[in-house]
A and B are shown apart, each in its own frame.
Chain A
């Protein structure tokens, strides 16, 4: 539950931000640019913040003044008038705070929504190559976290921060005006507090790093052990696992207790400094009062101020550390947004006209990083309607060939042509719309079964969807689901078996009726009945289409018009199954040994 107002107790993470942000004014500046659309709303929002904050600051000032100038001398009428004035001021302040909550909150939420939107837009326009990089997954999971850190830092604290800053400035000015010496004395403690806070932050950061590590280790152990309970019991490993768990569980507990030493000491230390300043004011003020250098009222008012004085400082210094994590998060987000989009439509790109399905690779050379040669001078010619089986060990370049047909990457040398047109000369959308794609990992999206089948043609009629499902042998299964085609899948919905997912992703490809089909045969075990359905569905979808199949099943390979045996980026053999067997070369050997084991 989002706490609308930060509760009094300090959360440990407030003084222990994750990574330290590099000081980066340009990041902040760029973030501020997100405020531009709200140029017209900002004055009202800021005005409300200023009014709200100044009424909060002026209250204690007037109370102090009243004690000094009205209650002390016994001016009852003045006191009554002052109370009435205060009531009006506070009421105005309340109204201003209401306006502030709405206006500031709205702007902040809209800015954050824009930031999320920008991230998503960017992800959609980045090429597949970006996501193939190993660190991409890591980065993404951190980005999700970053947005919520920014939400916490700015969404919840900005009004509070602005309010406290104004109060602080107000109080400092008031103190200096009332009594310059006493004011200076009170302010002396401010830098000490800031330094203390930063020392504590550094200290806490080191200790919390250990806790993050221990909780990470503990979580991955839990995850692994929970998913393999059956093995543990079958192999009598339960006691061993419990002991191993206990060690990590203890280490995590102890690391957390170690870390809390720092956070537990932080507030008392600040409180101590606070009191030290108060006592200083009392002593020095008392001295001034005794020597008639200040009135009793002045000193009393000061005591009131000093107490009001430290909360803003405390909140601001906590915000400083929180803001650092937020800025680090912003930096990561902006660096994603700045990621170059390597693969863009050529300015003169045309819409690919309806194709027959002839695919040619002309001397294609390719590497994922400069200098690397995953494919080296590949020539392929697939006539419309032909089935091409790609065979070879993992890492030979089979998936790369598929990546190039779909133009997930651009060739380094040579060209990939479809119906004689270079894939780089057409728009990506028009190219891919005519290519069907069935992956090994069949990813379903949250939504209904019908929406998942209509993935490539969201406006498809129900009848078309059902027809595709029938071709893919999944119609019967879907109609048995509780809500049929309207059954919701995904995290919170029904879960399907691997085989059923595969059937749905075949239906997905059937529905767009592509001329070219790409199929990465699944290696994972599917039960026999579903397997039969999958085989039939694949046979149906391959018919009359140019197809590229990364084959794992012998039955598939034997049907191919061309079997391409790929090794280390070269096509080493090319022919039908029978021709290659007769050649008694690499394929014949693979056929006997490797085919079954290849992932």
Chain B
């Protein structure tokens, strides 16, 4: 419920809209309460007295009140919806900003689909609460209070009889939702499971057919389908044990009022018009109770959603600028790892242990190791995707944690192992880091990445749309676009993380030699991470990472002489020619 309070606090930013909605709502309640009084006047003072002027005046007033009621009703719905859309907008912006800034360690553990659910359906649930349920509850309470007061003033005996409907209906509804919540949850779950089977069968239609599995899938679906029906039928029982009785209650109250009130009219202690008006008010008694009843589960769901949403908003960002962080704008080329150890959050084993080395200016460093050896971790620490657990990393003697994150990252260019293309044109994809780059700049880097010719050959050239809904590219083409993307940044340090693995050998070699030149000319340091020795033989120094430790370092020649492990890796890779290397 605390989370819901925080949601309500957002209303402060939309104070005038919220006030407008509330005032309209109260005025609407008043106008609703007034209408039966007009009935009473029309009957008692108009029709019964045969006074046509009063009748016509009352009719005119009714129309007037209807217009007012319409305006208040409109204002209430419009402003409430505006507020709820505003709240959803604010929450979405907050969550999105947070997701974008949360550190890698958070995203390593979070599931994309869950984050997605929170920013979409959870926020929608909260919006429904703000726009509908909150208003329904306020309106129901206002209506109940007003109507109860009026009824008590008009005829306290009849009023007391009528008002007993409220607690009775309340108890029925409370029992209904209390007892049947698990049942409704079951319906949702079974429906979800059933749709999942359908989805799987659509997605895996080839597998199903190839394994001649249709009869089994049919049987499975049929079984789940009928089990869904049987739960649905249980909900029918729950419904028929509640709502008919609420209607009966409401009807019994009506006939009691007509009977008892009618007797009073016959006794001349109550007028006919009053009876009709009183009867009209009865419509407003059970309805608010129903509204509150239906709002209750929505509010409970919204509270749970709000908690999930605030879980993201409150998540701590681990990696932030230190106070007095300096801008990283000059790079002398001396990167120092001092006894660096690192453990991924939640992991039991350290990913890196006591790694120490220092680079010289313009050195091209290769980092070699098996999958899971920790070789990618080394460069992830350099630009503070993660912070070291122990030890320190320095650039020209200054701890990387004392640099401003933005300037640090903008001057370290990295090509990730897995390439992500975004929906958009090829030009936009290459200009990802610098959306305002000119086409000439984009073409220049595309040439270096050996993708220019391919792009030129496409019908729409650099305007070709790629990504989910666009043209499909091969793994090698994607990797080359990713390389071009990184080349367009203001890198001073360049990192290539196994980034030509899917490019064919000949092109890869060409790219590599171009990059080698660039690295030596433009960067103060460069890192190439690889699994295969063949791609890194030209490096100035090779760091061999094994099980989180720096096992050996030196040139290719040196390592061949000194490192048994290096020799073993080399031998195993020579045996498997890998022109078509994919992994």
Contact = CB atoms under 8 A, between A and B. Distances in A.
A300 B472 CA distance: 73
A1 B293 CA distance: 13
Contacts of A512: 211
Contacts of B81: 256-257, 260, 264
Contacts of B432: 231, 235, 237
A437 interface: yes
Contact of A230 (B107, B228, B248): B107
Nearest to A143: B198
Contacts of B47: 285-286, 289-290, 296, 299-300
A275 B67 CA distance: 9
Interface residues of A, number: 154
A380 B507 CA distance: 34
Interface in B367-412: 370-372, 383, 385, 406, 409-410
Nearest to B233: A106
Interface string A426-459: 0011101101010100010110000000011010
A278 interface: yes
A257 B280 CA distance: 34
B313 interface: no
A128 B205 contact: yes
Interface stretch (B2-10, B235-243, B541-549): B235-243
Interface stretch (A34-42, A169-177, A245-253, A363-371): A245-253
A79 B266 contact: yes
13 contacts: A9-B132, A59-B255, A63-B254, A63-B255, A76-B263, A109-B236, A249-B93, A272-B69, A282-B46, A286-B56, A554-B577, A593-B507, A594-B504
B82 A257 contact: yes
B531 A303 contact: no
Nearest to A104: B236
Query: B interface, how many residues as a size bin?
Result: 35 or more
Interface in B21-78: 35, 39, 42-43, 46-48, 50-52, 55-56, 58-60, 62-63, 65-67, 69-71, 73-74, 77-78
Nearest to B207: A443
Contact of A90 (B51, B251, B416, B475): B251
Nearest to A223: B116
B340 interface: no
A170 to B, nearest CB: 16
Contact of B116 (A101, A124, A222, A245): A222
B55 A282 contact: yes
B70 A229 contact: no
B184 A227 contact: no
B198 A237 contact: no
Contacts of B232: 105, 109
A279 B62 contact: yes
A430 B214 CA distance: 12
A513 interface: no
A437 B46 contact: no
B233 A109 contact: yes
B248 A90 contact: yes
A296 B474 contact: no
B333 interface: no
Given A67-B262, A260-B78, A282-B55, A230 B385 contact: yes
Contact of B207 (A2, A455, A591): A455
A592 B201 CA distance: 39
A109 B194 CA distance: 15
Contacts of A455: 207, 211, 213
Given A286-B55, A296-B43, A595-B579, A226 B99 contact: yes
Given A257-B81, A257-B82, A275 B63 contact: yes
Closest 6 pairs (CB-CB, A-B): A286-B55, A275-B66, A268-B70, A264-B77, A456-B211, A437-B210
A191 interface: no
A264 B136 CA distance: 15
B239 A4 contact: yes
Interface in B333-376: 370-372
Contact of B226 (A4, A113, A226): A113
Nearest to A83: B259
B581 A7 contact: no
Which residue among A98, A263, A531 has the maximum number of chain B CB atoms within 10 Å of its CB? A98
B440 interface: no
B357 to A, nearest CB: 23
A579 interface: no
Q: Is the interface of A mostly helix, strand, loop or mixed?
A: helix
Given A224-B467, A232-B100, A527-B583, 14 more contacts: A7-B291, A97-B240, A124-B201, A128-B209, A144-B195, A225-B100, A253-B89, A264-B77, A275-B35, A275-B65, A282-B62, A432-B209, A508-B211, A595-B579
A321 B505 CA distance: 62
A599 interface: yes
A216 B480 CA distance: 30
Nearest to A85: B255
Interface stretch (A25-33, A114-122, A566-574): A114-122
Given A224-B422, A525-B582, A553-B580, A249 B92 contact: yes
Interface in A389-434: 394, 406, 408, 428-430, 432-433
Contacts of B202: 123, 131, 137, 140
Interface in B166-212: 184, 187-188, 193-212
Which residue among B205, B291, B422 has the maximum number of chain A CB atoms within 10 Å of its CB? B205
B582 A523 contact: yes
Given A90-B255, A260-B78, A296 B48 contact: yes
A278 B62 contact: yes
A5 interface: yes
A315 interface: no
Contact of B372 (A237, A527, A557): A527
Interface string B571-583: 0000011111111
A9 to B, nearest CB: 6
A145 B96 CA distance: 28
Contacts of B489: 235
Contacts of B119: 222, 226
A91 interface: yes
B474 A222 contact: no
A80 interface: yes
A559 interface: no
A118 B182 CA distance: 29
A63 B56 CA distance: 25
Contacts of A162: none
A70 interface: yes
A372 interface: no
B183 to A, nearest CB: 10
Interface string A86-114: 11001101110110011001100110010
Contacts of A86: 251, 255, 258
Contacts of A443: 200, 203-204, 207
B266 A290 contact: no
A86 B420 CA distance: 72
B476 A597 contact: yes
B89 A272 contact: no
A14 interface: no
Given A226-B112, A286-B42, A307-B280, A458 B216 contact: yes
Nearest to A120: B221
A91 B252 CA distance: 9
B52 A286 contact: yes
B503 interface: yes
A222 B200 CA distance: 24
Which residue among B42, B485, B502, B503 has the maximum number of chain A CB atoms within 10 Å of its CB? B42
Contact of A83 (B50, B233, B255): B255
Given A1-B297, A116-B194, A123-B202, A105 B233 contact: yes
Contacts of B101: 233, 238
B422 A428 contact: no
Which residue among A80, A223, A240 has the maximum number of chain B CB atoms within 10 Å of its CB? A223
A241 interface: yes
Contacts of B82: 257, 260
